[in-house]
Amino acid sequence: MKSQNFDYSWLKALFINCTLKPSPKLSHTDGLIDISKIIMEKQWVSVEVIRAADYPIANGIMPDMTKEGWKEDAWPALYKKVLEADILIITTPIWLWDKSSQCTKIIERLYSNSWDTNESWQYAFYGKVGGCLVTWNEDGAKHCAMWVLYSLQHIGYTIPPQADAAWLWEVWPWPSYKDKNSWWPENDFTNKNTTFMTWNLMHMAHILNENKGIPAYGNLPEAWKDWNKFWFENPEYR
Amino acid sequence: MKSQNFDYSWLKALFINCTLKPSPKLSHTDGLIDISKIIMEKQWVSVEVIRAADYPIANGIMPDMTKEGWKEDAWPALYKKVLEADILIITTPIWLWDKSSQCTKIIERLYSNSWDTNESWQYAFYGKVGGCLVTWNEDGAKHCAMWVLYSLQHIGYTIPPQADAAWLWEVWPWPSYKDKNSWWPENDFTNKNTTFMTWNLMHMAHILNENKGIPAYGNLPEAWKDWNKFWFENPEYR
Amino acid sequence: MKSQNFDYSWLKALFINCTLKPSPKLSHTDGLIDISKIIMEKQWVSVEVIRAADYPIANGIMPDMTKEGWKEDAWPALYKKVLEADILIITTPIWLWDKSSQCTKIIERLYSNSWDTNESWQYAFYGKVGGCLVTWNEDGAKHCAMWVLYSLQHIGYTIPPQADAAWLWEVWPWPSYKDKNSWWPENDFTNKNTTFMTWNLMHMAHILNENKGIPAYGNLPEAWKDWNKFWFENPEYR
Amino acid sequence: MKSQNFDYSWLKALFINCTLKPSPKLSHTDGLIDISKIIMEKQWVSVEVIRAADYPIANGIMPDMTKEGWKEDAWPALYKKVLEADILIITTPIWLWDKSSQCTKIIERLYSNSWDTNESWQYAFYGKVGGCLVTWNEDGAKHCAMWVLYSLQHIGYTIPPQADAAWLWEVWPWPSYKDKNSWWPENDFTNKNTTFMTWNLMHMAHILNENKGIPAYGNLPEAWKDWNKFWFENPEYR
């Protein structure tokens, strides 16, 4: 099979790197992001990478925490980027086998917008595609990815097959991903998973774009409140 | 908005009920399945419901455990049903806040077939759509659903938005779903979530059918082994 | 059985409330803390309650992030309180079925001190006792508690039986714990679990105090490095 | 520090190996069990190792499933062994980053006895100590251990510090623990964790034995029902 290009030039992808370290400190997670980003850009996808720790994102579960008394909140501006992107990839290191507190905060803030609706009256994230990248030594990548992907599908994202990838090293104190004596940039397992994830995210975003999202029937919260029950009936009353 | 029918008559859906109780014992989980099934059948989807505990499914992680020394194994026959279905919904009760051991076993057996490929040389479950229903009192539904959906996406299923629903009751010893003094069949929250899940599963299965699955590029394990890296390149060598 | 007092006057307990809201905003989690605190104080335990959101705790995994370039970091002072306490109870609300980002951060910072050792050369948290309280409507309490308790035992805390309790309400938009129309302060299930947790934490802290902690043999990281393997032998070489 | 013996001759430990494979098939998990067992036996602890897959343990959540219509159920006899043991270590392989279905079943059956009480009217597992061992390549050990330890503490076990250990290898298709070309029996990280776990389990079991268990006050379910609230009072009514 020959190398084949796909014209995905109208797609936008946003990576949110949830490392605890602000720029310009080295983020090993950036290494995995780069792999995915390069593949996307070769298909003309517009890619943006944001590091959460570089922004004063407030803790809270309201869309704009400055309205709740916080002095500043970078989230409303970042949320606009999320809304513009067809593909969202949340990336996190692992600490004590859990996603980072920056990652937990990003999910809380996505949740704070989960009551918004799109032009079809579906939840705002419907029609978008979500993925996850995780880095660290030892253990816990799947658990972190599981949580991120579940949260994304809950608020409206579609999760294509194999929508995550990870780089792990078995135990402390081995080198981290971007350390010189790490030979993991050569690691076939991580590279394959990252590549497959990247393609499945692009393909699914393309399919949903072509289809103008998910059909707006059966998933409209306001209509449900107005007693359109979309063929629901209570089995006991049949 | 008026009630609207969708002709999804070429879709097949399979529910696997992972209650610990064999038929004909009452399964509260069947109550939630019924809600989803009725909606699907009104769109002419072919629906089958299987109760795992009714079949002698072997423990193990090989496709056919009779070849490993087990006396019997119902899985190979059930796997055919899984392959024929466009939509798979795994349903489970909660015990000690975890999915049932029947559910864990079903996931192990799906995993045992995860190296199979489809006619496009993708993993066999690519192009299919997965969901999850959970019942019980107290707590843990989201954790169970998270695990089931993550496992399904890992082996190739696409997870549409809000692909799970649950019925919970707060604490023991409250009535279970199908008990007479449970007024939860009236519960709007569970009914809405089950309805939205059902529609999103059907819509996504339809979209993927129309699209003839997920494009077979960038996600082909044999091609990767043959050094087609689908535009992957090592960022360090650019 | 009559009411019986225990003289636990030499014990200290620290509650860290991981609500996202700084004081003096209402924290429903404080409601559960109060139940536990009252029982402890009746046994003359010294109790302190801290709200994480009231302090500028830096994100990071080093003991003092001001040494890593952060402008301020309240953690080193809080860590002293943690070290002085025999009992640590981490309390968190649930957002999207997960512990709060404040809670994730507190665990990261506890982890940042996990290489410290006590006067017996065990890890610094050995001999202390850990618990967890969770509040929210819907679902996820056990998952949050599981994570908190697992993290605590990993860094050295002992977890007595039934070391967690939760208040849940079944679905949004029901009242929260301290709202007027919540009748859950009467809830026997939550009250029982909170009471049992409180007593088991006190009893275990007392037992460990009487015993001068966990015997310092077989669990000494420096001795292990110095080739004292505490009777470990490789089964293959027997 | 010299090697030191502890006379723990009155302690009993039970390992339940939850491999999917019945005897005499090779269980890699047995490799980790052996490390722990050798250390215990050198302190004169009585150790028994059971492989769950060798017994016809029924699925269900009642103490004896033959009373519910099952033809056979090995659990009641195994439960006696659990009750006789001061230390219970559940060991499991990882499949799709989760504990095995045999492990889920064992936890369900432990839960089926969780209403039993001991001679002090506490839950039957009070005063006992729990641990966990996990083996596999790739990822997920901490997640499995977290679940096992949380379940054990919920039903009454005490969890001492660092009560789990794991052997992981980074990615498929590396050798498994007991394969010839695995050099992991030499792995210092796994060996240290297994050794520390073993000692902490023994020390804690000894401490609880010396103390005749956890004081029987504040944790008595029947007394609670009889309105002994153990100093609980509703904070709102103070």
Per-residue CA distances from A26 to A30, A38, A177, A178 (Å): 8, 19, 10, 8
Contacts of D166 in chain A (CB under 8 A): 139
List the single best residue of D135, D138, D139, D189 to mutate versus A (max A Cβ within 10 A): D139
3-state secondary structure of D164: strand
* Residue D199 contacts residue D124 (beta carbons within 8 Å): no
Of C168, C171, C172, Cβ closest to residue B139:
C168
Per-residue CA distances from C89 to C37, C134, C202 (Å): 11, 10, 11
* Residue C159 contacts residue C183 (beta carbons within 8 Å): no
Of the listed ranges A234-238, B167-171, D187-191, the one predicted with least confidence: B167-171
Chain B residues 108-137 within an 8 A CB cutoff of chain A? 123, 125-126
3-state secondary structure of B136: strand
Of A3, A161, A229, Cβ closest to residue B158:
A161
Looking at residue D170, its pLDDT comes to 46
Q: Using CB atoms within 10 A of its CB, is residue D69 exposed (0-12), middle (13-18) or buried (19+)?
A: exposed
Per-residue CA distances from D130 to C138, C153, C232, D215 (Å): 30, 12, 20, 18
Instruction: Give residues with Cβ within 8 angstroms of C64, minimum separation 6.
Output: C73, C75, C76
pLDDT(B223) > 90: yes
Looking at residue D119, its pLDDT comes to 95
3-state secondary structure of B193: helix
The two beta strands, B98-99 and B87-95, are antiparallel
Searching chain D, which residue's CA lies closest to the CA of residue B155?
Answer: D96
Searching chain B, which residue's CA lies closest to the CA of residue D97?
Answer: B151
Is D100's Cβ below 8 Å from some Cβ in B?
yes
Instruction: Give residues with Cβ within 8 angstroms of A234, minimum separation 6.
Output: B35, B185, B186, B191
Q: What is the mean pLDDT of residues C194-221?
A: 97
| Contact at CB, D189 and A166, closer than 8 angstroms | no
Searching chain B, which residue's CA lies closest to the CA of residue A40?
Answer: B231
D227: left (phi over 0), alpha (psi -120 to 50) or beta: left
Low-confidence ranges of chain D (pLDDT < 70): 1-2, 137-138, 169-186, 236-238
Contacts of B166 in chain C (CB under 8 A): 139
A52-109 pLDDT, tens per residue?
Answer: 999 999 999 999 999 999 999 999 999 999 999 999 999 999 998 899 999 999 999 9
List of chains touching D (3+ CB pairs within 8 A): A, B, C
A190-229 pLDDT, tens per residue?
Answer: 899 999 999 999 999 999 999 999 999 999 999 999 889 9
Q: How many angstroms separate the CA atoms of C104 and A97, rounded?
A: 11
Chain A residues 4-23 within an 8 A CB cutoff of chain B? 4, 6
Which ipTM score applies to this complex? 0.94
| Contact at CB, A189 and D166, closer than 8 angstroms | no
- Beta pairing partners, B169: B137
Q: How many angstroms separate the CA atoms of C233 and D35, rounded?
A: 7
Contacts of A167 in chain D (CB under 8 A): none
| Contact at CB, B160 and A158, closer than 8 angstroms | yes
Searching chain D, which residue's CA lies closest to the CA of residue C219?
Answer: D196
| Contact at CB, A220 and B1, closer than 8 angstroms | yes
Q: Between these two residues, B84 and A174, which has the higher pLDDT value?
A: B84
Q: How many angstroms separate the CA atoms of C228 and D191, rounded?
A: 12
pLDDT(C172) > 50: no
Chain mean pLDDT for chain B: 90
Q: How many angstroms separate the CA atoms of C37 and C31, rounded?
A: 10
* Residue B193 contacts residue B166 (beta carbons within 8 Å): yes
- B105 CA to chain D: closest CA distance, Å? 5
List the one residue out of C89, C113, C106 whose CA is nearest residue C29. C89
Q: What is the mean pLDDT of residues A163-188?
A: 62
Is C98's Cβ below 8 Å from some Cβ in A?
yes
pLDDT(C138) > 60: yes
D105: left (phi over 0), alpha (psi -120 to 50) or beta: alpha
* Residue D51 contacts residue D90 (beta carbons within 8 Å): no
Size of interface C-D (CB pairs under 8 A): 194
Looking at residue D39, its pLDDT comes to 97
DSSP track, chain A: --------TT-EEEEEE--SSPTTS--THHHHHHHHHHHHHHTT-EEEEEEGGGS-PPPSSSS-GGGGT-S---HHHHHHHHHH-SEEEEEEEEETTEE-HHHHHHHHHHHHTTT-B-TTSSBTTTT-EEEEEEEEESS-HHHHHHHHHHHHHHHT-BB-TT-EEEEEESSTTSPPTTSTT--GGG-HHHHHHHHHHHHHHHHHHHHHHHTTSS-SSS--HHHHHTT--TT---GGG-
Amino acid at residue number D146: M
Is D69's Cβ below 8 Å from some Cβ in C?
no
Q: How many angstroms separate the CA atoms of C77 and C87, rounded?
A: 17
| Contact at CB, A138 and D168, closer than 8 angstroms | yes
Q: What is D12-237's CATH number, 2.40.50.100, 3.40.50.10860, 3.40.190.10, 3.40.50.360?
A: 3.40.50.360
Write the DSSP symbol of residue D235: G
Looking at residue A203, its pLDDT comes to 98
Q: How many angstroms separate the CA atoms of D43 and D235, rounded?
A: 49
Chain C residues 133-192 within an 8 A CB cutoff of chain B? 138-143, 146, 166, 168-172, 187, 189-190
3-state secondary structure of B214: coil
- A198 CA to chain D: closest CA distance, Å? 20
Token pair for residue A197?
Answer: 């994830």
Chain mean pLDDT for chain D: 91
Q: How many angstroms separate the CA atoms of A20 and A27, rounded?
A: 9
List of chains touching C (3+ CB pairs within 8 A): A, B, D
| Contact at CB, B230 and A142, closer than 8 angstroms | no
Looking at residue D138, its pLDDT comes to 65
pLDDT(B192) > 70: yes
Domains of chain B, residue spans:
12-237
Q: How many angstroms separate the CA atoms of D121 and D223, rounded?
A: 9
For residue C8, what pLDDT band results from cuts at 50, 70 and 90?
A: very high
Searching chain A, which residue's CA lies closest to the CA of residue B220?
Answer: A196
DSSP track, C8-69: -TT-EEEEEE--SSPTTS--THHHHHHHHHHHHHHTT-EEEEEEGGGS-PPPSSSS-GGGGT
Q: How many angstroms separate the CA atoms of B70 and B188, rounded?
A: 46
The radius of gyration computed from the CA coordinates of chain B, to the nearest angstrom, equals 19
- C121 CA to chain D: closest CA distance, Å? 12
Looking at residue C170, its pLDDT comes to 46
Is A98's Cβ below 8 Å from some Cβ in D?
no
Enumerate helices (H) and strands (E) in chain C, giving the number of each: 6, 6
Write the DSSP symbol of residue D102: H
Looking at residue C187, its pLDDT comes to 76
Contacts of A99 in chain C (CB under 8 A): 104
| Contact at CB, D140 and A142, closer than 8 angstroms | yes
- A104 CA to chain C: closest CA distance, Å? 5
Q: What is the mean pLDDT of residues C31-35?
A: 92
Is B232's Cβ below 8 Å from some Cβ in C?
no
Looking at residue C1, its pLDDT comes to 55
Q: How many angstroms separate the CA atoms of B98 and B104, rounded?
A: 10
Token pair for residue A148?
Answer: 């991120």
Of A95, A101, A147, Cβ closest to residue C101:
A101
Write the DSSP symbol of residue B138: S
* Residue A168 contacts residue D170 (beta carbons within 8 Å): yes
pTM: 0.94
A133-175 pLDDT, tens per residue?
Answer: 998 766 889 999 999 999 999 999 999 999 999 887 544 444 5
SS (H, E, C) D118-136: CCCCCECCCCCEEEEEEEE
Token pair for residue D107?
Answer: 């936890």
B98-144 pLDDT, tens per residue?
Answer: 999 999 999 999 999 999 999 999 999 999 999 999 987 668 889 99
